[in-house]
Amino acid sequence: MRFRINVLLTGLLVLGLIAAACGEAEEEAPTTTAAPVDEPAPTEAPEDPIVVGVPAIIATHPFYVEQYRYFQHEADRQGAELVIVDSAPTGELNEVQMLDDAYALLESGVDAIIMEYINPEPFLDFQAEAASRGVCVLNESQTPLTGAQNWNEDNYQGGYAVGVHAGEWAAANGFDTAKMAVIVRPDNPPILARSNGFVDGVQSVVPGAEVVAEAQAIGPEEHAAAFANMAAANPDAQIWFAPEIDSGVAGLAALAEQGLTDPDQVFLAVTNVSEAGLEVLAAGDTPLQAAYMYSKNNLASIQMFRDALACARGETRPPTVYMLGNVVDTDNLADIQQMLQDLDSSSDYPQYLEDLITSVIDYRDEPQTTPSN
């Protein structure tokens, strides 16, 4: 028994010595493991920016340049890309070129297109092709039954609002049977709606007012001639209307040549006033006393571009949008000019601008069936 215990103790002692030797060997062995390296966390590849295309006319024609500037401003703010295609420059507002440019944009691979095309027949084929490629189309003055989102100016309401302003001036100055001289455009239903709205607005305040002269004119030169002819035939007309500011300024000069310069005797109203036109209004002491500023060229254009981005992301947008505006006169001119300055200078719009953008957008869930606004 004692022998077994000794043998067992001896065996345990041997095992202990072996284990100790192994431990020393492990401690003395050189370390060869490299220091751990911090590997960067995997990151997602950056998404390509959404590309929105516009025909060259929108970037270059005086009728659109302010709108394009706000498109570019919003593209910069949103990290999007704005491109233009100039397929056949003409320098004119030409629907053929507009559509050619739009097809060229389709071929370039843009995600969305903003354009203005009135004739529905050729537009049907274009919209079908765009839809087949998954390209969003936002179109101004066009029925959205084609599938495009339709953006409308409040043409009649704009004319009506500035007409009310003229009517109030007539009533205040004792012209209960005011005589009106009006530029009309039967060839262009949206612009004709402005003139019709203007007459209705004046007569809503002064029912005895009547139109004594009408003339058709396109562009400043024709407007100047039309105003001169109407003034020569109707020197006692008190209320004058032009549907475009540039043409209205030309008409203002023609009235001056006829001696019609007293703002207490002559009232000139215009619609679609531009930022440059506001400077003419700011000069004061002329018959140009009120203008209607459509938001298409400023606040609404920002939301239009946002809707193009939203559509390109797969979001559903209402089929019809009305862009509202404001009458501008000497009372609110400074506020309007400050708003435009803030729009140009702000990388992040203050809340009051966001509220104004919302206020000029009227979404409709019902598709518009005729481009007659």
Q: Does pLDDT of 142 surpass 90?
A: no
Query: Which H or E run contains 288?
Result: strand 288-294
Determine, yes or no, domain membership for 331.
no
**pLDDT given for residue 272 in this prediction:** 87
The domain that holds 81 is classified in CATH as 3.40.50.2300
Query: Which of 70, 82, 72, 76 is closest to 110 using CA atoms?
Result: 82
| pLDDT at residue 220 is higher than 60 | yes
Q: Are the C-beta atoms of residues 364 and 318 closer than 8 Å to each other? A: yes
Residues 290, 159 share a domain: yes
The angle, 0 to 180 degrees and rounded to 10, between the axes of the packed helices 245-257 and 275-283 is 30
CA 149/CA 140 separation, integer angstroms: 8
Q: Are residues 136 and 170 in the same domain?
A: no
CA dihedral 61, 194, 300, 327 (to 10 degrees): 110
Q: Are 279 and 243 in contact (CB under 8 A)?
A: no
| Cβ–Cβ < 8 Å for 274, 297 | yes
* Residue 230 or residue 373, greater confidence: 230
Task: Judge if 145 and 191 occupy the same domain.
Answer: no
134 inside domain? yes
Q: How many other C-beta atoms lie within 10 A of the C-beta of residue 294?
A: 23
Pair 168, 271 in one domain: yes
Helices (H), 285-332: 299-312
How, if at all, do strands 288-294 and 325-328 pair?
A: antiparallel
- The full length of the chain comes to 373
Are 169 and 277 in a shared domain? yes
Residues forming beta bridges with residue 88, ordered by sequence position: none
Binning pLDDT at 50, 70 and 90, where does residue 239 land?
very high
For residues 144 and 322, give the distance between their C-alpha atoms in angstroms, rounded to a whole number.
Answer: 13
Answer yes or no: is 242 within a domain: yes
Residues 290, 304: one domain? no
DSSP 134-202: T-EEEEESS-GGGSSEEEEE-HHHHHHHHHHHHHHHHHHTT-TT-EEEEEE-TT-HHHHHHHHHHHHHH
Q: How far is CA 296 from the centre of its chain?
A: 5
pLDDT in tens, 164-191: 999 999 999 999 999 999 999 988 888 8
Kindly state whether residues 55 and 109 are assigned to the same domain. Answer: yes
Do 181 and 243 share a domain, yes or no? yes
What's the N-to-C CA distance of the chain in angstroms? 118
% of the chain exceeding 90 in pLDDT: 56
d(C-alpha 147, C-alpha 141), whole Å: 13
In a domain, 309, yes or no: yes
pTM for this prediction? 0.79
Examine the pLDDT at 129 and tell me if it is beyond 50: yes
Structure tokens at 157: 């309401």
Question: Between β-strands 179-184 and 149-153, what pairing exists: parallel, antiparallel or unpaired?
Answer: unpaired
**118-122, 181-185, 292-296, range with greatest mean pLDDT:** 181-185
Number of domains in the chain: 2
Same domain, 147 and 202: no
Same domain (yes/no): 160, 149: no
Q: What is the mean pLDDT of the chain?
A: 83
CB 152 within 8 A of CB 140: yes
Please indicate, yes or no, whether residues 169 and 274 belong to a single structural domain of this protein: yes
Q: Which one-letter amino acid corresponds to residue 240? A: W
Q: Is there a single domain that holds both residue 261 and residue 197?
A: yes
Q: Which domain holds residue 186?
A: 155-294
93 vs 77, higher pLDDT: 77
Nearest Cα to 202, choosing from 240, 242, 246?
A: 240
How far apart (Å, rounded) are the C-alpha atoms in residues 254 and 231? 8
Residue 148 lies in a domain: yes
Q: Where are the alpha helices (DSSP H) in the chain?
A: 2-28, 56-60, 65-78, 95-108, 120-132, 155-172, 189-205, 219-233, 245-257, 275-283, 299-312, 333-345, 351-359
pLDDT digits (tens, 9 = 90+) for 330-357: 899 999 999 999 998 878 899 999 999 9
User: What backbone phi and psi angles, to 5 degrees, belong to 51?
Assistant: -110, 120
Give the whole-angstrom CA distance, residue 230 versus residue 213.
Answer: 6
